[in-house]
A and B are shown apart, each in its own frame.
Chain A
Amino acid sequence: MGVVCVFACPVPEGKSGQQVVDGLQKQVEMMGATKSGNFLVDCETYQSNPQNVTQTPQQCVVNILHNSEHPASCFSVTESGQILVSDLLFEDLMSKLTMAKAGRESFYSQRKGFKIESRGQRYEVGDFIIKIGSVSLASNFRGILIEVEYCPCVILNECWNMMKELLQSMVGNSAETPPPVLKHKPDTVYTPSDTILQYLDHFNNFRKAVSAPPPSR
């Protein structure tokens, strides 16, 4: 487990997402990377039914994410950024909250059409792992996320410059500064939760981009 940085790769006008993904894959293979399977990061969202949960007046949102890099774990994130790492059984606990039973309405319910995932090819080169994922929201293509992991290091600040060199050859200037989610902890030991928070941040941006009106040109 090393340091992971996730960046969105812009899709230029007049090109399809698949074309950009293909181009990136070719580029990574040219660098000498070898394919090492597929990967998947998915996210489902639950919201509280405030009329049912008496203790919290406002609505609560919980995102439940999985990462194929940690297949037996489940990551749950509340809106305040509190992240719970747990066994996959947490989903069964969540189903207790979403279940209506014996005249009782459910405490939480799943947001429909909010399932978002990033899926694609995983590459290895040297001590780096590169993942090129296409993001789909309710099975519609939304964008491209590139994940780069440098495994031997555990401190973001130490290896950021190295990762920047690699990332800039792929996504250009968007990798000028470290991912905003990681700003508050540049010198602490990196954990898998930090990867999940980065993905969630990107997923939320993609969702917002959908609900916002398209920019007028």
Chain B
Amino acid sequence: MADNRLDTQIEKLTQAIKLTQKLRASVTKVFTDLSDGFQAPKGDEKALLNKLQKSLTAVNDNLGDLEKLAPNIHSTTNIPPLLLNSVGLLGLDPATDKSGITTQLHHTHKWTNKVHKLGDYTAQFLGTNQLKRTNQGPAGQAKRLRRPEPTIHRIPENINIQQLVASVDRAYADMSVSLIRPMGNSTVLQITLAKTLKAVIVLRGLLIEYVSIKAYSEDFLTDDGRPDIWSKSKYQVFNKVTDLVTAGTIHFYHPQLPDASLKSFLIWLNNYKTLFSAPCSKCGKYLQGFLPPIWRDTRSSQPLHDGCRQ
């Protein structure tokens, strides 16, 4: 029974493909005729018009056939593609569809969203029930209640990310921050810190999703000049710094104040301009295992070797 249904499905699909080809052929004919000119005796405009009409009718008929068939064919993907932004588009490729990566991605996506949401709620509740003896004034309470539902990956309307970036860019002369939107909605920050390092930060809303740090002499391009933010730095020190800074993004994460979270992260990142020139604040030396002090304390901003942190 199931086999039968599959067979008719395939038959319909083949038919649809054939009809599409036919439609293409007739449309091409119209355009080639129009561009190359008709082979008809001079002055016989009527014959020309007749011919054109004929081919146009053929196009119309073919289109009609295809449209008739279309409702009978079901989508091959289970998830409606538009619900999931660009992830859903993955499912359109039948080869990857078989591997089930789309559904897995979909689940992961939902799961992370849920984690973020629950985390945000937790932070909200913990924030209201602070373990402090003095009660905060009712004004503070009321203010907190008015906060919108926390969703860090959706930029709140009252925050302009462009202004935020521009204010950080202005505040630090040796740190240039520029904002690019490569795929329309997603946001990428490009940072050049003095002549020490270059960084790329990928944001979802105001949530830092990915950080990559490279040397001042490197760039975020492939060999043939296309943008490439995923490749690693050639140098050990910057790969370590990337790891540590990624850990830092979690420290600065704050569900209630996403803008402050991003801003304080950028201010902290600014400490890395002394990556090569500052000695470790604990052991006083510059090198440890051929690496400079690659950690900046999140509170005091003091430079520390990876091994001197604890």
Query: Which residue numbers of A lie inside 8 Å of B, CB to CB?
Result: 1-2, 125-128, 150-155, 157-159, 161-162, 164-166, 189
Contact = CB atoms under 8 A, between A and B. Distances in A.
B286 A152 contact: no
Given A155-B195, A158-B275, 12 more contacts: A126-B290, A127-B237, A128-B290, A151-B235, A152-B233, A153-B276, A157-B277, A158-B195, A158-B274, A158-B277, A162-B286, A166-B287
Contacts of A127: 235-237, 290-291
B286 A165 contact: yes
Nearest to A161: B286
A126 B236 contact: yes
A155 B217 CA distance: 11
Nearest to A157: B277
A154 B286 contact: no
Contacts of B276: 150, 152-153, 155, 158-159, 162
A189 B196 CA distance: 10
What are the 3 closest A-B residue pairs judged by CB atoms, nearest first?
A126-B290, A152-B235, A159-B276
Contact of A152 (B215, B274, B277, B279): B215
A154 B236 CA distance: 16
A125 B276 CA distance: 17
Contact of B195 (A2, A126, A154, A165): A154
Contacts of B233: 152
A162 B287 contact: yes
A58 B216 CA distance: 43
Given A162-B287, A165-B285, A152 B237 contact: yes
B217 A2 contact: yes
B291 A154 contact: no
A152 to B, nearest CB: 4
B195 A189 contact: yes
Contact of A159 (B236, B277, B290): B277
Interface of B: 195-196, 215-217, 233-238, 274-277, 279, 285-287, 289-292
A171 B196 CA distance: 27
Nearest to A128: B290
Contacts of A152: 215, 217, 233, 235, 237-238, 276
24 contacts: A2-B217, A126-B289, A126-B291, A127-B237, A127-B290, A128-B290, A150-B276, A151-B234, A151-B235, A152-B215, A154-B195, A154-B215, A154-B216, A155-B196, A159-B276, A159-B292, A161-B277, A161-B286, A162-B286, A162-B287, A164-B286, A165-B285, A165-B286, A166-B290
Contacts of A154: 195, 215-217
A151 B216 CA distance: 11
Most central of A150, A157, A162 by chain B CB within 10 Å: A162
Contacts of A153: 196, 215-216, 276
A151 B233 CA distance: 12
A159 B292 CA distance: 9
A162 B287 CA distance: 6
A128 B236 CA distance: 10
Nearest to B273: A158
Contacts of A151: 215, 234-235
Nearest to A164: B286
Contacts of A165: 285-287
B216 A162 contact: no
A125 B289 CA distance: 9
Contacts of B290: 125-128, 166
Nearest to B238: A152
Contacts of B215: 151-154
Contacts of B237: 126-127, 152
Contacts of A126: 236-237, 289-291
B52 to A, nearest CB: 62
Given A126-B236, A127-B235, A158 B196 contact: yes
Most central of B215, B234, B279, B287 by chain A CB within 10 Å: B287
A1 B218 CA distance: 10
A2 B286 CA distance: 17
Contacts of B289: 126
Given A154-B195, A155-B195, A157-B277, A162 B292 contact: yes
Nearest to B214: A152
A1 B217 contact: yes
A164 to B, nearest CB: 8
